[in-house]
Chains A and B, each alone.
Chain A
Amino acid sequence: MSEWMRVCPLEEIPKLGSRVVQTGNGDIAVFRNGADAIFALRDQCPHKGGPLSQGIVSDRKVTCPLHGWAVQLDSGEAVAPDCGCTNRYRARVDKGEVYINLSEPK
């Protein structure tokens, strides 16, 4: 099964920002970085569950607002020496629209 679901137009996610997608299964954070790459992570820091969507995005990382852990947007893994991982989902842009696929974490 692979379901691509439309989130919003790309311009509704600020550059170096994010958008929260509320699903029946918890929140997903959809990020847009400076190069317009789109990433989707479960909106929970592997440290203490902080909302990653609220963090500062730079390049391919987001810094959790609660205790400053950095999490890799393209893998969901915490940046060393911190250790932990959050679920990552497929995300892409098509004709200016952002889609994510929650069928299974990558």
Chain B
Amino acid sequence: MKKARLVVIGNGMAGVRALEELLKLAPDLYDITVFGAEPHGNYNRILLSPVLAGEMTIKDIMLNDVDWYAQNGITLHLDKKVTQIDRVRRKVIAADGTEAAYDRLLLATGSNPVMLPVPGGDLPGVVAYRDIKDTDEMIEAASHYRHAVVIGGGLLGLEAANGLRLRGMDVTVVHLMPWLMERQLDRAAAGLLQQSLEAKGLKFLLEKQTEQIIGTSMLPPLQGEGWGGDGFGAVDLPHPHRTHPHPNLPPEGEGTIAPPPSRGRLGGGWVDSLPHEREGARSSRVTSIRFKDGTEIPADLVVMAVGIRPNTGLAEAAGLHCSRGVVVDDTMQTYDPRIYAVGECASHRGIAYGLVAPLFEQARVCANHLAQLGISRYTGSVTSTKLKVTGIDLFSAGDFMGGEGSEEIVLSDSFRGVYKKLVVKDDKIVGGVLYGDTADGSWYFQLLRDGQNIRELRDRLMSGQSHLGNSGHQGRSNAASMPDDMEVCGCNGVCKGTIVKAIKEKGLFTLEEVRKHTKASSSCGSCTGLVEQILASTVGGAYQPADAGRKPLCGCTDYTHEEIRKAIIERKLKSIPEAMSFFEWRNVDGCAFCRPALNYYLLCAWPHDYRDDPQSRFINERAHANIQKDGTYSVVPRIYGGVTTPAQLRRIAEVAEKYAIPALRCTGGQRINLLGVKKENLPKVWADLDMPSGYAYGKSIRTVKTCVGSEWCRFGVQDSTNMGIALERALDRMWAPHKVKLAVSGCPRNCAEATIKDIGIVGVESGWEIYVAGNGGIKAEVALFLVKAKSAEEVMEYAGAFIQLYREEARYLDRTVHWVQRAGMGYVKQRIVEDSAGRKALYERLKDALRDEKDPWRERAHGFEAQEFAPVRFNRNNIQGGSHERVDEGVPA
């Protein structure tokens, strides 16, 4: 059958990303043709700034060279500008006459820089800043000329100015507004930024309006030529805060205005001819620039960086509905359903995005529909900005100006050069600006995107997310200041330089990609914050932290943990294949992440009906022992409350000798670990031990650590040992989203370290204090006070109800701390403390779920699942004599 034809106009980041996503989903569906106006393969446009600054080369920023197109069977037309779309005959025609017919057409034409129509704007030496050609021209100018003037003090203009300054030019930035980057910064942060840039040698002229660019032999403009009025005639600079409080909403009724996100170089590379290329450009070169107030400064190079405008000319000529961009719906389709549009040229719900992260999201959705899967929607993006000027840390997101109905939390430390402002509305972060210390930018942005209630975080918000400095990376919390050879990921031994290199060379944009390629942050995850910072500073505005608010279970599905859990109950799904087929799982059998998750969710939903699937459990839970690096296993029997007997110890000793177990050690959870047991010996070891499983290997109840307590201790005020034993017995054999650790201390000296446990109980004279959601591992977290209990029975009920709520509502592999941080302690208190009927019901559900769980060791000691532990023995020298016959290859299959 003949394949459908897909034509892509625009060879930039958005269009090619859509193709990459499409090839992943449906590699053979289309014959693909790509038109690019530039003579290059697909490159990372946002890294042009480091190229200009001399920190990278063009070669470094190529994402897909021409070989990539050939390898994927894509026909590539470089340096060919498409001039017409014939929607009736369904073909596109390029300037040189090349034609390509389509069944589906993808517009990714990007945007054009806005050029001020001032006299002299077409002189040689006046450039925009969008593509490789512009960058080359600026680099070339820097080696011959001295004075550069950059018009526009936005993100793009400042990056250009910084690059030119690093190349030795004398650079002045001219800006119409009273402060720099007014779309991303408030006045205070902009002031700090200006100071830093001035220290780097840049000059600034604020509130200056360009009247004329003057060349060597140019006449002054004639009166009445039409540049009067606001000084720029038809093109006005966008001033969103004068006309509109929200930075993402464009000013109304200014049809020619650039779309609001000021980042302007991400789209198709399908650029209209710029004024300075037009016919009639005089041979004279720019010499100076004059402002409305009559002042004039010398200029050998003028860079216009005043904004971008979606490149819609082609679409409009083809009769597609455009309104500040090619209008698309949530499936990225234009008004012609055969034609899609993504990237800077597209207008979605009134917004044309200029940042790369939303474009990638659009590309993913578009690819899903092109692949005929039809299950994905784009619903818009909240964007954040990061300036890529080496040595300057700046982050901004959302509504950072605040105003009526919102409050501001501000930290300003002029000595350290740090300024942080968060704008809060209805207990949620709606925007923020960080200057000088952006380590927590991704965290704040995550809170913003998730719409998380921050009331309880409020007092700690400014000091940031403390986990960045935890173990494994030498206490560092700021990636920018780390040298390249410093280790970031202590688990996998990955240095900063390795990560940066991989991001640049492999063109990585997401945390997930960095994890796959470098292994950094892929094990314990404690360096995730650092890796995110490195990503953010390397790819700049392209980086967008994962959206935790809508996190698909895994790559096999687009549905979230919560959606899946809900449907399991409502639709009465009672097996993994049923769940996978109901949600149209993408991969046959799922993967090593989703199968254990589904197994747990089903088990939790149907404790008595669901038949546990051993093949969907990680080996430790399948073998009920902990796999070691040499493939042997460890055995940790349960020793309730750490209280043992001579007989028990004798049995352990005898087993260790009988099976030549090479190592015995005491665990941190006050029990004994038998290390180095061969898998085939496990059932026999369990039989001889005749002790219950300690579940030291599972996403399950682990241990309840105790101190000696009032029975012996002269300080003890409560019997912590027996409280611990009661809890451990009640929770025995309990599976959970992740491991669950408890501790009980008999007095506030807290020798059992209860305040870093999932549930910590601390005895006081008048009863027990209950703490929850602590953690002593990767990310040390102090448990939060939940409630005071008067009796042991109350402790059991509160603790049981809390654990059941965690079991029912946390995502698989969430520890209690992760879940409580997301759900909020207020919610937990409401469910566990205030709602006493609900609490009792939760506790009853927990008891019911555990009522017929059997001890896994006892079952297996009696032959259950025997084949899991029994290898097949082969003896090649004795094939005939054994049970293994030799057969001829000719035996029909």
Contacts and interface: CB of A to CB of B under 8 A. Distances in A.
Interface of A: 2-8, 12, 14-17, 19-25, 27-28, 30, 33-35, 48, 50-51, 54-59, 63, 65-68, 70, 81, 92-94, 99, 101-102
B375 interface: no
Contacts of A101: 889
A15 B595 CA distance: 14
A56 B871 contact: no
B872 A14 contact: no
B867 A19 contact: yes
Interface in B136-182: none
Given A25-B876, A81-B516, A14 B891 contact: no
B877 A4 contact: no
Interface string B226-243: 000000000000000000
A41 B877 CA distance: 21
Given A6-B887, A34-B588, A59-B589, A24 B876 contact: yes
A81 B886 contact: no
B592 A8 contact: no
Interface string B520-549: 001100000000000000000000000000
B631 interface: yes
A55 B619 contact: yes
B181 to A, nearest CB: 37
A92 B590 CA distance: 24
Contacts of A56: 591-592, 595-596, 615-616, 618-619
Interface in B866-880: 867, 871-877, 879
B595 A22 contact: no
Contacts of B879: 3, 5
A3 B875 CA distance: 13
Contact of A54 (B589, B623, B875): B623
Interface in B840-881: 867, 871-877, 879
Interface string B613-629: 01110111011000101
A21 B588 contact: no
B893 interface: yes
A7 B867 CA distance: 13
A12 B867 contact: yes
A66 B630 CA distance: 10
B751 to A, nearest CB: 35
A92 B595 CA distance: 27
Contacts of B595: 56, 58
B587 A81 contact: no
B884 interface: yes
B885 interface: yes
A21 to B, nearest CB: 5
A57 B595 CA distance: 10
12 contacts: A5-B884, A16-B615, A19-B867, A21-B871, A21-B872, A23-B876, A24-B877, A56-B615, A63-B592, A94-B892, A101-B889, A102-B876
Interface residues on B, range: 35 or more
Given A5-B884, A23-B875, 10 more contacts: A5-B885, A21-B874, A24-B876, A50-B631, A55-B592, A56-B596, A57-B589, A58-B588, A81-B516, A94-B891
Contacts of B24: none
Interface string B628-646: 0101000000000000000
B660 to A, nearest CB: 18
Given A14-B615, A50-B631, A5 B874 contact: yes
Nearest to A16: B615
Nearest to B891: A94
B23 to A, nearest CB: 14
B517 interface: yes
A87 to B, nearest CB: 15
A4 B587 contact: no
Contacts of B587: 58-59
Nearest to A4: B887
Given A20-B871, A20-B872, A21-B872, A4 B888 contact: yes
B865 to A, nearest CB: 9
B872 A19 contact: yes
Contacts of B876: 23-25, 102
Contact of A81 (B517, B618, B623, B867): B517
Contacts of B883: 6
Contacts of A16: 589, 615-616
B871 A66 contact: no
Contacts of A99: 887
Contact of A4 (B629, B891, B892): B891
B591 A58 contact: yes
A27 to B, nearest CB: 7
A54 B886 contact: no
Contacts of A66: 627, 629
Nearest to B872: A21
Contacts of A94: 887, 891-893
Given A20-B872, A59-B587, A93 B893 contact: yes
Contact of A22 (B591, B592, B619, B874): B874
A14 B617 CA distance: 13
Contact of A2 (B620, B885, B889): B889
A93 B877 CA distance: 23
B589 A34 contact: yes
A65 B871 contact: no
B877 to A, nearest CB: 7
Contact of B590 (A27, A55, A58): A58
B283 to A, nearest CB: 53
A65 B875 CA distance: 27
A68 B871 CA distance: 23
Contact of B619 (A2, A3, A54, A81): A54
A21 B620 CA distance: 20
Contacts of A7: 872, 884
A58 B889 contact: no
Interface in B526-585: none
B341 to A, nearest CB: 31
A79 to B, nearest CB: 10
A9 B595 CA distance: 26
Contacts of A21: 871-874
B886 A51 contact: no
Contacts of A58: 587-592, 595
Contacts of A93: 893
A50 B619 CA distance: 12
Contacts of B875: 23-24
B522, B596, B893, most chain A CB atoms within 10 A: B893
Contacts of B614: 14, 17
